[in-house]
A and B are shown apart, each in its own frame.
Chain A
Amino acid sequence: MAMEDVTGRPPPKSQMRASPVVWARRNLFSSVGNTVLTLACLYLLWLAVPPVLDFTIFSAVWSGTTRDACLGPDKGACWPFIRANIGQFVYGRYPADEIWRVNVVFGLGAVALVPALIPSAPAKRFNLIFLLVIYPLIALVLLAGDRPGLRPVPTSEWGGLLVTLVVALTGIVVSLPLGIVLALGRRSSMPAIRMLSVIFIEFWRGVPLITVLFMASVMLPLFLPEGMSPDNLLRCLVGVALFSSAYMAEVVRGGLQAIPAGQYEAARALGLSYWRTMGLVVLPQALRHVIPGIVNTFIGLFKDTTLVLIVGIFDLLGQVRAQLSDPSWTVPQGALTAYIFAALVYWVFCFGMSQYSNFMERRLNTARER
């Protein structure tokens, strides 16, 4: 074994790692200001973390089947309440003997989604077509059940996480393509298309989502003849989808504007048509620029779905609140427990989305990483 000449190379990583004391001295206590800030932060953590851990874990009630288990002084979170109601939180009031349909939809979605998210998985094209076109149709038929052999389940009986996912995924799946079309429309050279896109975007961006939902749920039935109003959930789905596509359009437009004019001109010079220019040259670059913005919109949309609560649709949060009113489970710490649980579920989904977008960004941006 020949000796390597290592002069001029940085030391191996394992030797670069400083001991914790050195690291702390270098990073946390390097100056008076830093020391004060560090101590203040530690104090805040000490104030906040132990009570939270104590409430959620150490003095929490973990077992029991009735509210009596959670009563008493110094009892923390009432987890039996969550366990007893978990079915309600996930499925809402979906009929108990039809829950397999929801499970099939969830399972099928997971099976189709996972390979779609893994870049190296095979049959990407088929997978995406299945996920974006065939799967929603299957899900619709299975959930609503207006086909022979299936018992119809009106959307007023859907609830919980099911509704949250239906609203959020519909919004996400519809808003991206619609947003791209609108963004292209807004930058189009044809005045009519440009004006329509601008009007659409500015209208939907100019009204609060709550107004949209209220109009859809409260005003629309008054305009329509008695007993002829479309399904309440459907009205909200359309409202949410149109609303989020307006936001998506502006995000995508930001990406389009970052593409230098030379790219368009080069594509044109190669004889590419408008759609091929956009599809092959401009959009792949533009969308890559705005992945953080797109995911930001998705995450915002996911959390905004809780607003359907005000029009009487029980999403996860609505269901959690409804179960709180069950007198056989009303306990002093019930509301806090339930909200912690709901926050955790939302966090898991939003954090998942954000981590996946980070992964995609790193993968797509390897060439330009700085």
Chain B
Amino acid sequence: MKNPLVALIAGILIGAGGLYFFLPYDPLTLGGGAAQVSSGAAGDGAERASAGETLRRVRNRGFVQCGVSQGLPGFSSPDERGNWSGIDVDFCRALAAAIFGDPAKVRFRPLSAKDRFTALQSGEIDILSRNTTWTMSRDTQLGFDFIGVTYYDGQSFMVRKAAGIKSARDLAGGTICTETGTTTELNLADYFRSRGLSYKVLSFEKNEEALVAYDRGRCDAYTTDASGLYAQRLKLTDADANMVLDDVISKEPLGPAVRQGDPQWEDIARWTLNALLNAEELGITSDNVDEMLESGNPRVRRLLGREGAYGEAVGLRPDWAAYAIRAVGNYGQMFERNVGTETPLGIKRGLNALWSDGGVQYAPPVR
């Protein structure tokens, strides 16, 4: 009789403790904002301060805390001297340059796929720039906002050049290697079933195994996201004998995300990306940005802060965009430097070309 009683009391205590720890978290952050608003009834100054909290914290800390991957070629990977490079990394550098005028004022926090969301929710990082697909559920349920698309990815296929396969349709009846337990299998099934084509799938626990199976000729194609295919291609015994099909069978828009509830910080991140895209459209590069400051083109002048007060509106200096561009170049430079045709990855612009060049990268104007 005594032991069950003790267990009951202990259970109640532990349960209550758990509730105490669990419950207040969300109400606290949401309610915290509400409390700020109600106590700031005297004026909207208080509200703006609470909205600009992330920027203030970043400024006090002296650097941007940026969540990146633990190593994905072309997006975020450390080199021999430990310097990070990649599109995701460069975006954070641009953000740091826009805020501090110094692209070095950023620290990278490598995150696994599992702990990336918690790190953002708990405030350990200010921005998650980690090849994360923008989906509705992530945008609406996890308490983040995606600020744009740094790379339009999508599931594609790698095939042997000698096989004469030109499009995904030619794979009908073939064997396809993939990884189990990811959406890749699902996308594959959707694609082939909806077209009434037959196919055989050979799935493996790890993508390394799937790649080896493909390399040894056990299957006709290997499928995963296109950016991954280009990286995996380098691991094949004869990379040049293989190619990635242009067909894309799923939408994987990769983009940075910020915590919900701080519109100013969200604007800074969004417009830093837009500035890089607009810079490419306007022909501003990291090399000519200083000459462009004297340009007569009003669109250039507005972007670089020679006209208007667009930077001040988000709490930054007027020439914030010039610093970002000077640091990492425009979007096109960033792309070519990290994943472009001159790099070992050799990815063509494709969907990631500007809208004016046949891609879908389109940034709203600075005006």
Q: Which of A291-342 contact B (CB under 8 A)?
A: 309-312, 314, 318, 321-332, 334-335
How many Å from the CB of B60 to the closest CB on chain A? 11
Complex-state Cα separation, A318 to B344, whole angstroms: 23
How many Å from the CB of B185 to the closest CB on chain A? 23
Q: Is the CB of A327 within 8 A of B122?
A: no
Complex-state Cα separation, A96 to B231, whole angstroms: 28
Q: Does B71 contact A (CB under 8 A)?
A: yes
Q: Which residues of B contact A223 (CB under 8 A)?
A: 21-22, 25
Q: Is the CB of A88 within 8 A of B80?
A: yes
Q: Is the CB of B234 within 8 A of A330?
A: yes
Contact of A222 with B25 at beta-carbon distance under 8 Å, contacts A88-B80, A96-B82 already known? yes
Q: Is the CB of B78 within 8 A of A330?
A: no
Residue of A nearest to B29 (CB): A226
- Partner among A96, A309, A327 whose Cβ is within 8 Å of the Cβ of B73: A327
- Partner among A154, A219, A222, A321 whose Cβ is within 8 Å of the Cβ of B70: A321
Q: Which residues of A contact B77 (CB under 8 A)?
A: 322, 325-327
* Chain A residues touching B, range: 35 or more
Q: Which residues of A contact B118 (CB under 8 A)?
A: 218-219, 221-222
Q: Does B202 contact A (CB under 8 A)?
A: no
Q: Is the CB of B70 within 8 A of A326?
A: no
Q: Is the CB of A330 within 8 A of B111?
A: no
Complex-state Cα separation, A260 to B235, whole angstroms: 61
How many Å from the CB of A333 to the closest CB on chain B? 9
- Partner among A73, A312, A334 whose Cβ is within 8 Å of the Cβ of B237: A73
Q: Is the CB of A314 within 8 A of B344?
A: no
Contact of A96 with B81 at beta-carbon distance under 8 Å, contacts A322-B70, A330-B344, A332-B237 already known? yes
Contact of A323 with B114 at beta-carbon distance under 8 Å, contacts A73-B237, A221-B122, A332-B235 already known? no
Please count the residue pairs between chain A and chain B whose beta carbons lie under 8 angstroms apart in the complex.
Answer: 120
Q: Does A280 contact B (CB under 8 A)?
A: no
Residue of A nearest to B77 (CB): A325
Q: Does A87 contact B (CB under 8 A)?
A: yes
Q: Is the CB of A322 within 8 A of B78?
A: yes
Q: Which of B57-76 contact A (CB under 8 A)?
A: 57, 70-74
How many Å from the CB of A91 to the closest CB on chain B? 8
CB-CB contacts of B163-188 with A at 8 A, as 1s and 0s? 00000000000000000000000000
Interface centre among B25, B78, B79, B82 (most CB of A within 10 A): B82
Q: Does B109 contact A (CB under 8 A)?
A: yes
How many Å from the CB of B63 to the closest CB on chain A? 10
Q: Does A156 contact B (CB under 8 A)?
A: yes
Q: Which residues of A contact B208 (CB under 8 A)?
A: 335
Q: Does A101 contact B (CB under 8 A)?
A: no
How many Å from the CB of B55 to the closest CB on chain A? 14
- Partner among B28, B82, B111, B231 whose Cβ is within 8 Å of the Cβ of A88: B82
Q: Is the CB of B71 within 8 A of A322?
A: yes
- Partner among B115, B237, B345 whose Cβ is within 8 Å of the Cβ of A327: B345
- Partner among B22, B82, B235 whose Cβ is within 8 Å of the Cβ of A93: B82
Q: Which residues of A contact B236 (CB under 8 A)?
A: 332
Q: Does B288 contact A (CB under 8 A)?
A: no
Complex-state Cα separation, A352 to B124, whole angstroms: 39
Q: Which residues of A contact B239 (CB under 8 A)?
A: 332
Q: Which residues of B contact A218 (CB under 8 A)?
A: 114-115, 118
- Partner among B28, B57, B110, B124 whose Cβ is within 8 Å of the Cβ of A229: B124
The majority secondary structure among interface residues of chain A is helix
Contact of A325 with B80 at beta-carbon distance under 8 Å, contacts A222-B25, A223-B21 already known? no
Complex-state Cα separation, A222 to B74, whole angstroms: 31
Complex-state Cα separation, A156 to B78, whole angstroms: 14
Q: Which residues of A contact B115 (CB under 8 A)?
A: 217-218, 311-312
Q: Does B135 contact A (CB under 8 A)?
A: no
Complex-state Cα separation, A311 to B109, whole angstroms: 11
CB-CB contacts of B89-128 with A at 8 A, as 1s and 0s? 0000000000000000001011110110011011110000
Q: Does A92 contact B (CB under 8 A)?
A: yes
Q: Is the CB of B112 within 8 A of A310?
A: yes
Q: Which residues of A contact B121 (CB under 8 A)?
A: 222
The majority secondary structure among interface residues of chain B is loop
Q: Which residues of B contact A226 (CB under 8 A)?
A: 29, 122-123
Q: Which of A57-106 contact B (CB under 8 A)?
A: 67, 73, 84-85, 87-88, 91-94, 96
Q: Is the CB of B71 within 8 A of A324?
A: yes
Q: Which residues of B contact A96 (CB under 8 A)?
A: 81-82
Q: Does A262 contact B (CB under 8 A)?
A: no
Complex-state Cα separation, A43 to B124, whole angstroms: 56
Residue of B nearest to A85 (CB): B80
Residue of B nearest to A88 (CB): B82
Complex-state Cα separation, A296 to B133, whole angstroms: 44
Q: Is the CB of A93 within 8 A of B237?
A: no
Q: Which of B206-240 contact A (CB under 8 A)?
A: 208, 215, 231, 234-239
Q: Does A227 contact B (CB under 8 A)?
A: yes
Q: Is the CB of B82 within 8 A of A92?
A: yes
Complex-state Cα separation, A225 to B231, whole angstroms: 39
Residue of A nearest to B82 (CB): A93
Q: Is the CB of B73 within 8 A of A314?
A: no
Q: Does B343 contact A (CB under 8 A)?
A: yes
Q: Is the CB of A310 within 8 A of B235?
A: no
Q: Is the CB of B234 within 8 A of A331?
A: yes
Q: Which residues of A contact B122 (CB under 8 A)?
A: 221-222, 224, 226, 229
- Partner among A84, A214, A222, A326 whose Cβ is within 8 Å of the Cβ of B78: A326
How many Å from the CB of A340 to the closest CB on chain B? 15
Q: Which residues of A contact B238 (CB under 8 A)?
A: 73
How many Å from the CB of A222 to the closest CB on chain B? 6
Q: Is the CB of A310 within 8 A of B114?
A: yes
Q: Is the CB of B82 within 8 A of A221?
A: no
Q: Which of A225-271 contact B (CB under 8 A)?
A: 225-227, 229, 232
28 A-B pairs within 8 Å (CB atoms) are namely: A73-B237, A85-B80, A87-B81, A88-B81, A93-B78, A154-B107, A218-B118, A222-B121, A222-B122, A223-B22, A223-B25, A227-B57, A227-B123, A311-B112, A312-B109, A312-B110, A318-B70, A325-B70, A325-B72, A325-B231, A326-B77, A327-B74, A327-B234, A327-B343, A328-B79, A330-B235, A332-B237, A334-B235
Task: Give the top 5 A-B pairs by smallest Cβ distance, nearest first.
Answer: A325-B71, A221-B122, A330-B234, A322-B71, A327-B73
Residues of B in contact with A (beta carbons under 8 Å apart): 21-22, 25, 28-29, 57, 70-74, 77-82, 107, 109-112, 114-115, 118-119, 121-124, 208, 215, 231, 234-239, 343-345
Further 16 A-B residue pairs, CB within 8 A, beyond A154-B107, A310-B112, A330-B231: A94-B82, A156-B109, A217-B115, A221-B122, A229-B124, A314-B70, A322-B70, A325-B70, A325-B71, A326-B71, A326-B73, A326-B79, A328-B344, A330-B235, A335-B208, A335-B235
